Amino acid sequence: MKCLPKPLTLLSISILSTFAISIQAQTLSGLVLDKAGKPLINGSVQIMGTNKTASIQSDGRFIFENVRPGNMEIHVASSRHIHSKTELTVPESGLFDIEIVVANSSIEIFDVTASAFHASTIESAAPVSVLAGDELRRKQASTLGDTLKNEVGVHSTFYGSVASSPIIRGLDGPRVLVTQNGLDSGDASRVGPDHIVATDASTATQIEVLRGPATLFYGSGAIGGVVNVVDQRIPDNNDWEGRVSTDRNTNNSEEAFSGFIKGGEGNLAFNLQGYYRDADDYRIPGYAENPDTHSDEEHDDDLGAEHEEHEEHEGERKGVVENSSSRTKGITFGASYLLDNGYIGFSVEHMSSFYGIPGHAHGEEHGEEHGEEHGEDSDEGLGEEVVQGDLQQNRYQISSKHQLSTDFISAINTGFAFTDYKHAEIENGEIGTVFENKSHEARVEVIHQPLAGWRGGLSFHYKASDFEAVGEEAFTPPSKTNSFGVGIIEEQHFGNVLFQLGARIEQVEIDVPTIQIGETEFEAIHSAAEHGEMEHHDEDGHASLLDASQSSSVSFTPLSASIGAVWDFTEGYNLGLSYVHAQRAPSSAEIYSFGPHIGTSTYEVGAFYDITEDGDVVFNGRDLAVEKSNNVDISLRKFSGEFGFVVNAFYNQVDDYYFSADSGFVVEEGHDDIASDLGEDVMADEHEGHEDEMPVFLFTALDVDLYGFEAEINWQATASLQLQAQGDLVRTKLDKNLGGSQYLPRTPPSRLGVSANYVVGDWQAGLSLHRYFTQDRVAEFESETKGYTLVDLDVSYVTSFNNTDVTFYLKGRNLADEEARVHTSFLKDLTPVQGRSFILGARAHF
């Protein structure tokens, strides 16, 4: 493991030098009541600008010890109450039995740990949402993307229920950062959508989604947003708690188990958690391959149509997505030493997964059982080609929080992580490409005492990644990426307005020791506009053969700044405004990719290169630039009474936006079934006679505008019935045509959803409907995706045994058994979503 950079070492010395300056500390206690005068029975109280948090006890009381005398603001948080702020002065003798009254909220409100500022979901200038509690348990799925796919503003890449990553406002991959308790997950999911997100949510306490740039706190890789999975792997208290859950899915025979136990004694606390999932290929209403990709021709008789259907699906099993089985397991142990003013702890995690990558196998009938078949022999009987992934990851984390009583520093928070990630792509039992990533991350936050009413601090952030892809089909060269950033964040109340300011500077260096491009034939495909068809031309080009010893190194200095405000203009309402200028350094894969990516069935060419009209590959003569984003967000929120809503509108103007799009070229590839499995909207009849070809996807940097809105409405119609409605829309527009289109590829479709939840006694029942509209705003060489409607059901019953709450539940998914294809997926024409399924399970919590 590398040593921390000198800036962090110097910082540690400067921090230690402040410990000797201390001030006498006192006690602060009080009582929290609702509007009816009844004590709150859950929630927490925090002294703003510090790490000091106290739980609200069953009688509504809270107490702080070792409080620094002076002026302060305390914040009360409870999920079904409006979070309140109270300004007070603690004298030298302490302050006792203060009384705080909070109002009921029409929406659930959660504190957000991923935010640079202390904020709840209604107190942030930028839009943020939290999935937690019973709602998280109901929406729990086998992947992070599928768990979040129905959250407003969030879609999923969807890779056959085995590898789905979240998409935020049309942005994904290297623009959306997935973190585990605030630290980068360190996997390869940002390199390709077929790679699993190695952060499991089955033992999470909450999942936080920051929509819009979050670069101030997380760096340039979070220019599109952050998904932070929060669990208790490093405990900050020794309260005993546990949960265990098990269920079975009727569709793919998935058996899932997860659980954790947390506790301790004295100054020691520990947490042990784990999960296990085993699933067969999943079932669908029809064929996996979309027949619309084969031909646009009309057929005059039923016999011809039946004959064509037989040819289109020859060798394909009806009613199942082949090679979509998976087995995933993980275990984590963490322990902490609790201090009077904080804690320090560590965790160790091991995760493994063996899973099929669908969209490649067209086989003969084979059994559903797969015990050891998940191993090297799992390709038997599948037919032409089976592509699978084998993932192994070890992750180590250290975390600490220390509250100080000095004239200058209020608190110091640290986080360190080392991730050793390895993922092999296996073709027909043979290892094809191995991806390895060793990443280090260190973050130190120094929170200062209030200065002229401003609360905030400095963030020092270091990341290093040593990434390597080895194999015949390694599409990106080995690279080392190092970054170091310094950020400042501040906030202050001026009457009913909370102002938030921030800035960050970052240095990013990418080193590639060796670049080599083998001689590759690119064949051009041009659009015949008068017929709306694609046609082959005979001219072939050849990629340049570069010196194998050639190396490359690039560096970037992204700058980010933000200003935001939250205006509580009347009781129960507020208005959030934010402007963020964010910059992002392109990733190594976006710059240097050159080769076949079997997971997406595409041939990827990075922005370091360009393709001439003749198909020759040349170096891109333009300087590589940072991606620059100017993002404006407006949020209107109502959260009091029985009726509430949150409406967001956003506009994001991006210069030098890096994205991969179909270049109109194909490349000869030595896989007999690749052409029939192109997936990314290339018509099969257009490639007749070219079964060994892959479409060439070129990374390009162009200016683009992204804009849209998100809305959520909640109505507590009766004491038992809650109704909800939501919708979101995102539009993308390039500043110039790329081919014949100004739209970005794989832009999420518009969506509306409604749901009803009824609770009576120990029973709960919920029904939801989500309508995904047809996506016809498509890029060049991309096809439209038909709209679809998904209907889901949730029923549960809660009982108690010996102080343990036990919930029995039934989930119904896609009750109408509708064929649904996800426009944001590379393999939308090969892997529709899972058909009708029922999940029966039980969970216990103590």
141 shares a domain with 245: yes
The SS3 of residue 44 is: strand
Share of the chain above pLDDT 70, in %: 84
**Looking at residues 733-748, what average pLDDT do you find?**
85
The yes-or-no verdict on residue 669 having pLDDT over 70 is: no
The total of structural domains in the chain comes to 2
185 shares a domain with 74: no
The yes-or-no verdict on residue 194 having pLDDT over 80 is: no
> pLDDT class for 433, splitting at 50, 70, 90?
confident
DSSP 453: T
Contact indicator for 620, 656 with CB cutoff of 8 Å: no
Rounded to the nearest 10°, the torsion over CA 788, 830, 191, 150 is 20
Q: Is residue 129 part of a domain?
A: yes
> pLDDT class for 749, splitting at 50, 70, 90?
very high
Return the higher-pLDDT residue of 370 and 809. 809
β pairing state of 326-339 and 342-356: antiparallel
Helix extents (H) in 114-242: 133-139, 144-148, 215-218
DSSP 298-316: --SSHHHHHHHHHHHTTT-
**Looking at residues 398-425, what average pLDDT do you find?**
92
Give the integer Cα–Cα distance in Å for 30 and 669. Answer: 71
Give the integer Cα–Cα distance in Å for 255 and 278. Answer: 5
Per-range mean pLDDT, top range of 40-44, 329-333, 607-611: 329-333
Q: Is residue 328 part of a domain?
A: yes
| Number of other residues whose CB lies within 10 A of the CB of residue 704 | 24
Q: Is residue 16 part of a domain?
A: no
Contact indicator for 221, 584 with CB cutoff of 8 Å: yes
Q: Is residue 8 part of a domain?
A: no
227 shares a domain with 82: no
> pLDDT class for 299, splitting at 50, 70, 90?
very low
The SS3 of residue 139 is: helix
DSSP 360: S
222 shares a domain with 365: yes
> Could you give the C-alpha distances from 328 to 276, 629, 770, in angstroms and in order?
6, 37, 29
Last residue within a domain, chosen from 104, 132, 162: 104
532 contacts: CB under 8 Å, gap ≥ 6: none
The yes-or-no verdict on residue 320 having pLDDT over 90 is: yes
**Looking at residues 254-279, what average pLDDT do you find?**
96
| CA nearest to 164, candidates 208, 205, 201 | 201
Least confident residue range of 47-51, 415-419, 657-661: 47-51
Range of the domain at 132: 112-845
163 shares a domain with 49: no
Contact indicator for 126, 578 with CB cutoff of 8 Å: yes
Return the higher-pLDDT residue of 224 and 432. 224
186 shares a domain with 79: no
Return the higher-pLDDT residue of 557 and 36. 557
**Looking at residues 551-579, what average pLDDT do you find?**
94
Last residue within a domain, chosen from 104, 132, 149: 104
The yes-or-no verdict on residue 269 having pLDDT over 90 is: yes
- The single-letter code of the amino acid at 64 is F
Per-range mean pLDDT, top range of 677-681, 690-694, 706-710: 706-710
554 shares a domain with 635: yes
Q: Is 808 exposed, middle or buried (0-12, 13-18, 19+ CB in 10 A)?
A: middle
pLDDT at 24: 54
pLDDT at 799: 95
212 shares a domain with 82: no
**Residue 219 backbone phi and psi in degrees, to 5:** 95, 180
The yes-or-no verdict on residue 674 having pLDDT over 50 is: no
pLDDT at 502: 93
Q: Is residue 12 part of a domain?
A: no
Q: Give, for 723, the enclosing helix (H) or strand (E).
A: strand 721-734
Contact indicator for 41, 75 with CB cutoff of 8 Å: no
Last residue within a domain, chosen from 104, 120, 137: 104
Q: Is residue 18 part of a domain?
A: no
**Residue 125 backbone phi and psi in degrees, to 5:** -65, -35
777 shares a domain with 675: yes
β pairing state of 26-34 and 95-102: parallel
pLDDT in tens, 485-532: 999 999 999 999 999 999 999 999 999 988 766 566 777 765 433 333
Contact indicator for 188, 152 with CB cutoff of 8 Å: no
CATH code of the domain covering residue 60: 2.60.40.1120
Return the higher-pLDDT residue of 16 and 752. 752
Q: Is residue 17 part of a domain?
A: no
99 shares a domain with 130: no
Give the integer Cα–Cα distance in Å for 587 and 172. Answer: 13
67 contacts: CB under 8 Å, gap ≥ 6: 25, 26, 27, 28, 47, 52, 90, 94
pLDDT at 653: 96
| CA nearest to 668, candidates 687, 650, 681, 647 | 687
pLDDT at 714: 95
The SS3 of residue 592 is: helix
Return the higher-pLDDT residue of 441 and 187. 441
Give the integer Cα–Cα distance in Å for 94 and 398. Answer: 34
The two tokens of residue 114 are 């991923």
Residue 598: which region, alpha, beta or left (left: phi > 0; alpha: psi -120 to 50)? alpha
pLDDT at 226: 92
pLDDT at 117: 64
**Looking at residues 176-202, what average pLDDT do you find?**
85
pLDDT at 152: 95
28 shares a domain with 128: no
CATH code of the domain covering residue 523: 2.40.170.20
Q: Is residue 3 part of a domain?
A: no
Sign of CA dihedral 12, 14, 20, 22: negative
Contact indicator for 282, 322 with CB cutoff of 8 Å: no
> pLDDT class for 739, splitting at 50, 70, 90?
low
- The single-letter code of the amino acid at 700 is T
pLDDT in tens, 439-464: 999 999 999 988 998 999 999 999 99
89 shares a domain with 138: no
> pLDDT class for 476, splitting at 50, 70, 90?
confident
Q: Give, for 8, the enclosing helix (H) or strand (E).
A: helix 6-16
